[in-house]
Amino acid sequence: MNQKISQDFFQMVEKMPPFPKSAHRIMELAADINCNPKDLVQVIEHDPIVTMKLLKLVNSAFFSLAHEITSIRHALVYLGLNTVKNLALSIATIQSIPHKNLEHFNTHQFLLHALTTASIAQRIAPRFDPDLDTGDAFIAGLLHDFGKMVFAQFAPLEFSQAIELSIEKKQSLHLSEQAVMGMNHAEMGALLAEKWELPHQLIQCIRYHHQDSQAPLHCAVVVANQISKQLKFGNACNPVIDAFTPHIEGILGMNLSDFIESLDDLSTEASKAKKFIDI
């Protein structure tokens, strides 16, 4: 797998199309001269591919902005509505190979996992640091498993083997990926994020989301990821749910199931995400 990460590979990834529903919605919004900026931000924020590509572009040397852009709202303030709208449109209209649904990897279920992790991370972020930008937590949650999409698209056979190995051995997917491909999705996503010059804290969050860390943003994503899996909001093919680390349990003062109990209305996160996917 390491040998695959060549210039050609990065170029292939750049051609990954957005999810059909968000592409359709972006085209609809772009055709409306009075489109509501809130709607545009929402549709971009709900598609990991459009989000990642937009962040990549606005943080690239091409713009060399004086400030690092960490979220779609941030991009809107710096570049203006029309430029963001047209950037999104140029991403949405990429004609490329369709997303692959593998036997064990369903893109719809994957998106549901990414979106619920994002919205839960956003909601619980202040528990780890009251000053944490909740928009950054949303994006980190949305993109934490981006590497899986890349595997599904460009190494479907090996990725399927890794998923099967995880199910069989009841071991975390990133370990099976490592065994089968010599690389796991966290590293894959981080390499892309690095190559695309995404904000540093986002790269770190993607790379280490299966490891322990003290960083508040990282903690929010790790916890949101376990909650999403525990409540079976979507499915990102990892059968293992990790218990809280002592650090996280120390901050929250309870374990995973008690924490889930303490949060009201978590099912609304799933229904909101489903509603969005089914637009």
Partner 1 sequence: MKIKFWGVRGSIPTPGPTTVRYGGNTTCIEVRLDDDTLIILDAGTGIFPLAQSLLSDFPLSCHILNTHTHWDHIQGLPFFIPLFVADNNVHIYGAADPISQKGIDEILGTQLQYRFFPIRKVELKANIHYHSLTESHRIKIADATITPIMMNHPVINFGYRIDCYGKSIFFTGDHEPSYNIYDANDEEYSEYQSIMDDKQQHLIDTIQGVDVMIADCSYTPEEYPSKRGWGHGTYDSSIELAQQANVGKLYCTHHEPTRSDQALEDVFSQAMQRHPRQPQSPEYFLAQEGLEVSW
When the beta carbons of 49 and 162 are compared against partner 1, the nearer one is: 49
Nearest of 9, 236, 243 to residue 117 by alpha carbon: 236
Measure the CA–CA gap between 142 and 62, rounded to whole angstroms: 25
CB 270 → partner 1: shortest distance, Å?
A: 19
**Residue 178, interface with partner 1 (CB under 8 A)?**
no
**Binding span for partner 1 by CB under 8 A among 73-81, 150-158, 215-223, 228-236:** 73-81
Nearest of 13, 115, 6 to residue 56 by alpha carbon: 13
Q: By CB under 8 A, how many residues form the interface with partner 1? A: 28
Handedness of CA 261, 220, 234, 180 (dihedral sign): negative
**Binding span for partner 1 by CB under 8 A among 10-18, 70-78, 108-116, 194-202:** 70-78
Interaction residues for partner 1, span 108-137 (CB under 8 A): 133-135
**Residue 14, interface with partner 1 (CB under 8 A)?**
no
When the beta carbons of 82 and 267 are compared against partner 1, the nearer one is: 82
Measure the CA–CA gap between 41 and 26, rounded to whole angstroms: 10
For the record, the structure tokens of 109 come out as 């279920």
Is residue 26 within 8 Å of residue 20, measured between CB atoms?
Answer: no
- Which residue of 7, 62, 170, 264 would you call a contact of partner 1, by CB under 8 A? 62
Measure the CA–CA gap between 116 and 46, rounded to whole angstroms: 10
- Which residue of 15, 63, 168, 211 would you call a contact of partner 1, by CB under 8 A? 63
**Residue 80, interface with partner 1 (CB under 8 A)?**
yes
**Residue 73, interface with partner 1 (CB under 8 A)?**
yes
Measure the CA–CA gap between 18 and 277, rounded to whole angstroms: 12
Interaction residues for partner 1, span 22-51 (CB under 8 A): 36-38, 41
**Residue 210, interface with partner 1 (CB under 8 A)?**
no
Measure the CA–CA gap between 97 and 153, rounded to whole angstroms: 9
Find all residues with CB under 8 Å of 157, minimum gap 6, and list them.
none
When the beta carbons of 11 and 64 are compared against partner 1, the nearer one is: 64
Phi, psi dihedral angles at 268 (to 5 degrees): -65, -30
When the beta carbons of 5 and 81 are compared against partner 1, the nearer one is: 81
CB 73 → partner 1: shortest distance, Å?
A: 5
Q: DSSP code of 3?
A: G
Find all residues with CB under 8 Å of 21, minimum gap 6, and list them.
277, 278, 279
When the beta carbons of 37 and 239 are compared against partner 1, the nearer one is: 37
> Which residue ranges make up the site for partner 1 (CB under 8 A)?
36-38, 41, 57, 61-67, 73-74, 76-83, 86-87, 90, 133-135
